Structure 1
Amino acid sequence: MLSSLWLLALIIVLLIIASAFFSSAETALTAASDARMRQLASKGNERARTVEALRADREGLIGSILIGNNAVNVLGSALATSIAISLFGEGGLVWATVAMTVLLVVFAEVMPKTYAFTYADQYALRIAPTLLWVVRLLSPLSLGIRFLASQMIRPNPNGDQDREEELRGLIELQGDNGNADDRERKAMLSSILDLNELSVEQIMTHRGTVSMVNADDNIEDILRFILGSPHTRHPVFSGKPDNIIGVLHVKDLLRALGEAESSGKKPLLPQLVQNIASDAYFIPETTLLFDQLQAFRTRREHFAVVVDEYGDFRGIVTLEDILEEIVGDIDDEHDIGLAGLSAQADGSWLVDGNVTIRDLNRALGWHLPDEDASTLAGLVLFESRTIPSPGQEFRFHDIRFRIVKREGNRLTSLRLWAS
């Protein structure tokens, strides 16, 4: 009799150890770092690949763990009740309940899960092979339970969005608690996620500030214009600015002029510019930045002409514009300050109406909204719901606006004060 009780007690201890294994396995496989497992797996670590394989089927993994954990807990409690009743009679039921509750909570739940959470990566790698065999053994039961659950619970339609929000949250946590470099990395990573939400319309250089070449001008005027421009690529139009016939690269023009001079032939315009200008790459203004970045890589292009739904010229966007959305401004020795923006002695700013809101926010550190208008003049027209006259003043978004000059229905110059 006594030996059988000791045998049952030993079995209960083994069942508690098994319960601890299942509880810690669930915590470790859930808390282990996806990035670290992916890195180790890419280096040939078989255990890391096993962890990834287990987590690829999370429903099967969790189902098998819960089945095993509940089975050993129920069996252990039943055996403990049998021992207690044989020792203390009917009152042993209470003693068995209290004892198993304490043992399971302390030794099969709290301590194993605390350890697994503290050493999640190492512990997940250590138990992955054993857990894989357990999952395979319990897979028939797990599949049946999953089928039953799928019939009763609908899938979450916002799963992808939730994962993106989780990633954004991780980036925020890492950046907020770090140094300046960590905050810079946080801004860059967040900007990468934003590429799939921003359109080229929001970052393009508006048509009013695009440096364009008129194919009908004489060679001296074109050279003078190009030498005074900080850009190497210029849209080429003929007749009117909306009639874009190509894109002129400064190198191509200088090479053509050099070849013409060496051959002793005087270059003829507009034939020269039209012949050396490359075909314009047109894109709609609604194109997302992520898609456009991929298109630039595929086409090996750096420059695109943006048009609206009617095919009218809206502006240009470059590869550098998209990269600056990720890493911030990229300045070189030829870059100039924001054209159309000048500081005044009284602390105000004189701004051309065609300056884009996004460029202005970057230059001054402001936060003017650009959802409903892309240029400063457009923002004033949208907010005021009228076409104001010179001298009129408004206050929007903590900024004071004064209309300085208007040409026809276009606001060409404004003075701004920050509150």
Structure 2
Amino acid sequence: MSLFQHLSLLAVLVLAAGFLSLTEISLAGARKIKLKLLAEAGDERALKVMALQTQSADFFATSQIGLNAIAILGGILGEGALRPFFMEWLSAVYDGPGAENIAFALSFVFVTTLFILFSDLMPKRLAMIAPERIAVAVIHPVLFIIRICRPLSWALNLVANLLFRLFRIETTREDRITFDEISAVVEAGAQAGVLQKQEQHFIENVFELESRSVTSTMTMRDNVVFFNLNESEEGIRQKIASYPLSKFPVCDGVIDRVIGYVDTRDILVRLLNKQSVFQLNESSIRTVLIIPDSLTLSELLDRFRATKETFAVVINEYALVVGVITLSDIMLTVMGNWGSAIEVNNQILQRNDGSWLVDGSTPVADMKRMLDLGSLPEEENYETAAGFMMYMLRKVPKPTDSVEYAGMRFEVVDVDHYRIDQLLVKRVDAIAP
């Protein structure tokens, strides 16, 4: 055969190997979620791709049979056909004893480069750009090739399965999606401009509801405003005027003896009906939802949905009240820093010098996000900025106590009866020597 015929046959082998490489990467990389969307849009080929992914052994066996056979045939053809031509071209400049070896090396490098570039590198890179679109485009030719090679691929898979069982290797593809994978996709969407930064925070915060406890979002015990059972009408008016809250717990003397709660809308209805006298009794006090402090925000949402309530009192294992929480508190957790990029519910404020004032009750998730911290040490042991400091200090804190972590210095600024009210956070490299 002439040089042109040899090169033409070699080109056919390279294209065949490139097709197999293209299909191998696209079928392996096609995401099930996008294939489902294509199937729902009416593309039946997407269903065939998903079926092939579920039982991919035949395809990979066929692909490897084809790739190896083509590579061996291409090597034989290239070495046998191209070496004489390289010898002829080389003889014009060199005709020494090593000319044959040089011609062999040149033909080997030429064929290998040709296969690497056009049968491996470029097809695989193209397949990674749009794996789903390419997978549905090539599925019919792939199924045809699989039928042709089925006897040989069945024998190879039989041997491979025996070896997998011998070494106890699980070969079933797992399509479970984790929160980390969803978070990575959402972050990629934000970087690509598909999602706004605030939308990214919304999605991440929704998934965090499953791991955050109610104590990270509730109003702490010391900040709870409640009515005494024998509260006077004047006292009720003053508290409603001083604290713009929609619901107030009703307690018998102390906060740990909760009886129920009062909705200020009931008081408004009485005023609109010109009933000036309002008393705390069975008719005006509603039954309150009592929940343990071990619940997650996701579990609390289920409780709110089941009971049709939007207000709950949180107690600990000793039946002592540790705080109250409303549906609005959970929504604020999901919305995050909606209003400002430097303020989270007035709990984290950035100063002009770049330092941060952090309220002690700030949830660690919000503190990490605003300070751009990937993680905190052993986060399961605390839920607030104050808890982080107490865990790191390993003692009852006092003003000026500080710790350093991840290039940040956390300093206790204010303590109220052993409780950390406020922290000052600075970057270590920003602190003057």
Distance 1:7 1:246 in 2: 92
Distance 1:99 1:348 in 2: 61
Superposed CA offset, 1:102-155 (max 9, x none): 553344323322332344343222113333455577474575334532542545
- Aligned residue number for residue 309 of structure 1: 317
Distance 2:210 2:370 in 1: 23
Superposed CA offset, 1:275-320 (max 9, x none): xx134142x3232334434444455443332222333222223333
Distance 2:249 2:242 in 1: 15
The alignment partner of 2:22 has SS state of helix
Letter in 2 for 1:66: Q
- Aligned residue number for residue 142 of structure 2: 131
**For the Cα contact (< 8 Å) 1:281–1:303, is it kept in 2?**
no
- Aligned residue number for residue 49 of structure 2: 51
Letter in 2 for 1:201: T
- Note the C-alpha offset of 1:58: 5.7
Question: Judging changes above 3 Å, is the alpha-carbon distance between structure 1 residues 385 and 174 closer, same or farther for their aligned structure 2 residues?
Answer: same
1:280 and 2:295 matched: no
Q: 2:401 aligns with which of 390, 394, 398?
A: 394
**For the Cα contact (< 8 Å) 1:360–1:366, is it kept in 2?**
no
- Aligned residue number for residue 121 of structure 2: 110
Superposed CA offset, 1:173-201 (max 9, x none): 4445659x643333333334433332222
**For the Cα contact (< 8 Å) 1:260–1:267, is it kept in 2?**
no
Distance 1:99 1:165 in 2: 45
Distance 1:126 1:228 in 2: 68
Equivalent pairs, count: 392
Among all aligned residue pairs of Structure 1 and Structure 2, give the percentage whose two residues are the same amino acid. 25
- Note the C-alpha offset of 1:206: 1.3
- Aligned residue number for residue 22 of structure 1: 20
Distance 1:338 1:404 in 2: 18
Distance 2:372 2:112 in 1: 57
**For the Cα contact (< 8 Å) 1:373–1:379, is it kept in 2?**
yes
Distance 1:176 1:152 in 2: 42
- Aligned residue number for residue 430 of structure 2: none
1:148 and 2:163 matched: yes
1:357 and 2:371 matched: no
Letter in 2 for 1:148: L
**For the Cα contact (< 8 Å) 1:393–1:402, is it kept in 2?**
yes
The alignment partner of 1:52 has SS state of helix
- Note the C-alpha offset of 1:209: 1.3
Moved more, 192-201 or 160-169: 160-169
Distance 2:81 2:16 in 1: 20
Extract unaligned runs of 5+ from structure 1.
86-90
**For the Cα contact (< 8 Å) 1:349–1:417, is it kept in 2?**
yes
- Aligned residue number for residue 191 of structure 1: 205
- Aligned residue number for residue 39 of structure 1: 37
Q: 1:209 aligns with which of 217, 223, 227?
A: 223
Letter in 1 for 2:44: E
Letter in 2 for 1:235: P
RMSD between aligned alpha carbons? 5.2
Distance 2:310 2:77 in 1: 74
- Aligned residue number for residue 88 of structure 1: none
Extract unaligned runs of 5+ from structure 2.
84-100, 427-433
User: When the two structures are superposed, what TM-score results if normalisation uses the length of structure 1?
Assistant: 0.69
Give 1:14-413 correspondences, 5 Å limit.
16-32=14-30, 35-57=33-55, 62=60, 65-70=63-68, 73=71, 101-132=112-143, 134=145, 138=150, 140=154, 144=158, 145-146=160-161, 148-152=163-167, 154-155=169-170, 163-176=178-191, 178=193, 182-255=196-269, 261=275, 268-274=279-285, 277-282=286-291, 284-329=292-337, 338=346, 356-358=361-363, 372-373=381-382, 387=396, 393-397=400-404, 398-402=409-413, 406=417, 410-411=418-419
- Note the C-alpha offset of 1:357: 3.0
The alignment partner of 1:116 has SS state of helix
The alignment partner of 1:49 has SS state of helix
Superposed CA offset, 1:196-236 (max 9, x none): 33222222221211232333313332243234322222333
